[in-house]
Amino acid sequence: MSAKLLVLDDDKDVLTAARLMLKREYEVVTAHDPERLPALLAEHAFDVVLLDMHFVTSAQAAREGLNLMARIHQHDPDIVVVLMTAFTEFDTAVLAMKRGAFDFVAKPWQNEKLAATVRAAAEYRRSRIEAARLKGQNRALAAELDRGRDPLLGDSPAMQRVRALVAKAAPTDANVLVLGENGTGKELVARALHAQSRRADAVFMAVDLGAIAGTLIESELFGHRKGAFTGADEHRVGRFQSASGGTLFLDEVANMPRHLQGKLLTALERREVVPVGANAPSPIDVRVIAATNATAAELTDESHFRQDLLYRLNTVEIVVPPLRERREDIPLLATHFIQLYAARLGRDVRAISDEALAALVAYPWPGNIRALRHALERAVILCDGDVLEAGDFALPVASAPAPSVAPAEAQTLIDLERRAIIQALAKHGGNVTHAADELGLTRASLYRRMEKHGL
């Protein structure tokens, strides 16, 4: 949708010239009487106002223009005001900009100057609208955290290490690289970093580079000018500029084509971006958090990923463990998702049986937390009672290879030991210390046995 402009000037020739020049790109409304301003603001949702500074010829002329601008911003503080003034009144225009004007155009104007100024004003208006929407989402996340709903659930040593790194890195503006398999919660780590940072009241913007066609990534990140390529029907502000003042999360950054990795590196080093089709750079103020499920071998392969970019991104590196390495967190996660989906779906599901929980703890979860969440959502939907049973989960049974020379009795003892560990963990909600006490083992001994049994 094109931006909506109001041109307010007492010279009807100026109004005609402005309308004829701008109507191809924008919806233009013109008015020569400043007294109509309140009615026009009530009737239309303007994005930009081109405002003449002088509607009177007395010494109060400049004040009249400032008063009109104040009335516009009183109605909607986000309307972008561009002043039109004579060459001899630059001091007055500068004063007006200090009071909230976006820019000014000297009359008689050059068409290229006016077009560029209005274009920049319309882009700025769009970016402010998007930023306001995302700030609302961010406030909702902050409210969740204030209610104690930490998105990084889990008390395992692995998750305690992750939270400790987040607490140390978050208050800084350092770039962070989050590593981990699909479904481990890398975006949750990024959101926690943002929520605990000095930018917490600004925008958190996530971009999944794995879901964007390689030919569109540059435009998505840096923006583009109208006509820069086929299909570029209007100017677009990129994610770097839209996230100004906040945090930009680049998910699956290793999927970025190598020829664009250099442009990303330049943007990070110079703190500026050049939109596709533009000649001049635009400054940016964002903190970048990147994430990838790429292996260490892929990241350190220069032919796959630029090492200078890697060094720029991983000032701090946080590795999110797979669920199979933090099985003691599964009972807590299961309880959280049961409560979440029972409330969301209107189902009277209150708990999970020991047998079902033991099955969840024993399962290797190749899809990690995302797969666990989907399994619990499905179970909440399909269960018949208020307690989830093992039969409510369609988990494939992984058959463990039997030792080739072990006698039948030894195999039975191994099975009994494994079952005892699973039951103890389920009974104590995944708490390894309590489970070890019940089994008469030290924590270290229990961890060794859990590793032996693939738990």
What pLDDT is stored for residue 433 in this prediction?
Answer: 73
pLDDT tens digits for range 351-378: 999 999 999 999 999 899 999 999 999 9
DSSP 155-192: -SHHHHHHHHHHHHHTTS---EEEE--TTS-HHHHHHH
pTM, 2 dp: 0.64
**CA terminus-to-terminus distance, the chain:** 55
Residue 114, token pair as written in the block: 């006016």
Of residues 401 and 315, the one with the higher pLDDT is 315
CATH code 3.40.50.300 region(s) in the chain: 150-321
Query: d(Cα 301, Cα 298) in Å, to the nearest integer?
Result: 5
What pLDDT is stored for residue 410 in this prediction?
Answer: 38
- Residues of the chain above pLDDT 70, percent: 85
Lowest mean pLDDT among 198-212, 324-338, 428-442: 428-442
Q: What is the pLDDT averaged over residues 281-298?
A: 90
pLDDT tens digits for range 380-403: 999 999 999 988 997 764 433 333
Q: What is the largest CA-CA distance in the chain?
A: 107
What pLDDT is stored for residue 398 in this prediction?
Answer: 44
CATH code 3.40.50.2300 region(s) in the chain: 4-125
Lowest mean pLDDT among 137-146, 318-327, 442-451: 137-146
pLDDT at residue 64 is higher than 80? no
What pLDDT is stored for residue 182 in this prediction?
Answer: 92
CATH code 1.10.8.60 region(s) in the chain: 325-452
Q: Which residue in this structure is represented by tokens 């708990």?
A: 351
Of residues 285 and 296, the one with the higher pLDDT is 285
pLDDT tens digits for range 159-185: 999 999 999 999 999 999 999 999 999
What pLDDT is stored for residue 405 in this prediction?
Answer: 37
CB 159 within 8 A of CB 185: no
Q: What is the pLDDT averaged over residues 313-337?
A: 95
pLDDT at residue 144 is higher than 70? no
Tell me which architecture the domain covering 325-452 has in CATH. Answer: Orthogonal Bundle (1.10)
What pLDDT is stored for residue 59 in this prediction?
Answer: 46
For the domain spanning 4-125, the CATH number is 3.40.50.2300
Question: Which residues, in sequence order, are bridge partners of residue 233?
Answer: none
**Amino acid letter at 305?**
F
User: Residue 203: which pLDDT band, with cuts at 50, 70 and 90?
Assistant: confident
Spelled out in words, what is the top-level CATH class assigned to the domain 150-321? alpha beta
Lowest mean pLDDT among 157-171, 215-229, 251-265, 391-405: 391-405
CB 343 within 8 A of CB 187: no
What pLDDT is stored for residue 61 in this prediction?
Answer: 56
Q: What is the pLDDT averaged over residues 283-312?
A: 92
Among positive and negative, which fits the CA dihedral 415, 417, 423, 425?
negative
